[in-house]
Structure 1
């Protein structure tokens, strides 16, 4: 008898074969949903057409471990729920709360925005990364919840974990989750991931780390740190040859210090256009001198093709709601679900910034994410294709 795993693979092959044989004009999703309803599987039909959400989706994940970066309680959520926050990221007893590291909960309404025309137009464009393999690539999520006594557990992190798993599964990534890793375990896991032979066959890679943090570093559950630079280096051109030239998306939900952003009020002063220009800046021609061009094979910079998204800027805390997740991850998931069909990752980042910046904790604190774009082309997730 075949194992459940092999049976699942066989079922997937049958569905894939059926899909490939259907004319392009056929709405395959509708046909499959209708067929499921014919055999009284309305629950599965609902999942296929997107109108049904399983009841315990946000609480059935294997790693249901809460997350605690800097445990502060704040109200946040795409719908701005009103929750109380405590001063060091600790939720009030008996209530859900936002802690630094807190996010929105409202979901976006479309992971299938991308029309066939848009996909066909951009999938092989010179200025766009190829990202149409199935799976698109691997997605590794490290979720730290239970820390040694010196640090609080990260309650609410399970919501971020479930949201990210659901998002990247729908975006056609193979998702792997690791939970409660020490600093040494994090390094070993990243090193092992960088050696994965499957990267050769796929076209992009996603890494998400949900943990406590300090300036430019994340904590393992043993309260030891792993520097951001070391995390990136596992996947650079020297250490991960199979990802050279491919987009590497790194998402880090963690505090970067203990400062809390009290926000500022504009004083009405205008910024002149000239203030944005540095007269001593080199012109484009200065940067493209002939002597800078190699006459041999074209090489890629070692740290090229990275897109790094961190929850907050250096020295500041991030906020987490124990009932809905972190401001940053929930905002990112919401924006990606809604706009990934037709917007590249850089354009979506501005929307994530705007959404997170619109939130305010009950104590009047703010937060702004930090994005670092080292991509050389536009990157689209192309969901639905």
Structure 2
């Protein structure tokens, strides 16, 4: 019996046969456990066939500069690129990251660098941003009542247009929802990164299904902070046009 990925047509799934590139920009200073996350990510990249670059302890401007170098290197490559991962790990608040110099940079500035308009090599290719950073200082104690599960599926049957919108083929995955803390253990690393790496490395399926499993595991778990139980879940923002299979 063929796998789910094998059953997909060329129109259903992104072509992942070319180069896979990953960039990790991480503040490790005063972020105990972050090196554990870096090691886990490196193992995941190797397992999934990604060529990885890691940069640590950058000033705020350095996030932009390193991503610019990454983009320029891709645009100059002779061989095509299938997909890129960009992992951003730092202290932060909603919409911003804090550099090792305590200055800040807007996440939207970083996201914009790899849009279909601004990165030729990744035009129409999946661009996955993974953000391990707080988005505020709120703490979630959880709710007893189980909410109803609702959802809508919108299917578009139009033929592929000759042009792509500027902001398609992107996936932004945040460690927590807007306004809330992200959790990191000083020895075991961050709950989000460790869960994501385990799922991406050991499970098969398209990436949105994998992220649903990440969300389920995180939502089912209970974290202790200052002797009080806390809940946390990631947030996924997707403009992918096709199924993205990593395995």
TM-aligned CA distance change 1:199 to 1:361, over 3 Å: farther
Question: Which position in structure 1 is the counterpart of 2:182?
Answer: 318
Q: How big is the alpha-carbon RMSD for the aligned residues of Structure 1 and Structure 2?
A: 2.7
Question: Which position in structure 1 is the counterpart of 2:165?
Answer: 301
**Distance (Å, rounded) in 1 between the aligned partners of 2:110 and 2:116:** 13
SS of the counterpart of 2:245? Answer: coil
Question: Which position in structure 1 is the counterpart of 2:244?
Answer: 379
Q: CA deviation at 1:237?
A: 1.4
**Distance (Å, rounded) in 2 between the aligned partners of 1:247 and 1:184:** 25
1:136-184 per-position Cα deviation (integer Å, ceiling 9, x unaligned) = 32100111011xxxxxx00000111000011012211110000000011
TM-aligned CA distance change 1:184 to 1:174, over 3 Å: same
**Distance (Å, rounded) in 1 between the aligned partners of 2:173 and 2:67:** 17
Q: CA deviation at 1:118?
A: 3.0
**Distance (Å, rounded) in 2 between the aligned partners of 1:336 and 1:253:** 16
The aligned runs of 1:321-332 (5 Å cut-off) are 321-332=185-196
**Distance (Å, rounded) in 1 between the aligned partners of 2:79 and 2:114:** 13
Question: Which position in structure 1 is the counterpart of 2:34?
Answer: 157
Given candidates 22, 25, 47, the residue that maps to 1:142 is: 25
Q: CA deviation at 1:233?
A: 0.4
Q: CA deviation at 1:227?
A: 1.4
TM-aligned CA distance change 1:119 to 1:185, over 3 Å: same
With the length of structure 1 as denominator, give the TM-score of the two structures.
0.58
Q: CA deviation at 1:361?
A: 2.2
1:303-322 per-position Cα deviation (integer Å, ceiling 9, x unaligned) = 11001111001110011111
Deviation above 6 Å: which 4+ runs of structure 1? Answer: none
Whether contact under 8 Å (2:48, 2:201) holds in the other structure is no
Q: CA deviation at 1:124?
A: 5.5
**Distance (Å, rounded) in 1 between the aligned partners of 2:151 and 2:82:** 38
Matched length: 242
Q: CA deviation at 1:218?
A: 1.2
Whether contact under 8 Å (2:206, 2:245) holds in the other structure is yes
With the length of structure 2 as denominator, give the TM-score of the two structures.
0.89
**Distance (Å, rounded) in 1 between the aligned partners of 2:136 and 2:50:** 32
Q: Which structure shows the higher strand fraction?
A: 2
Who wins on radius of gyration, i.e. which is larger? 1
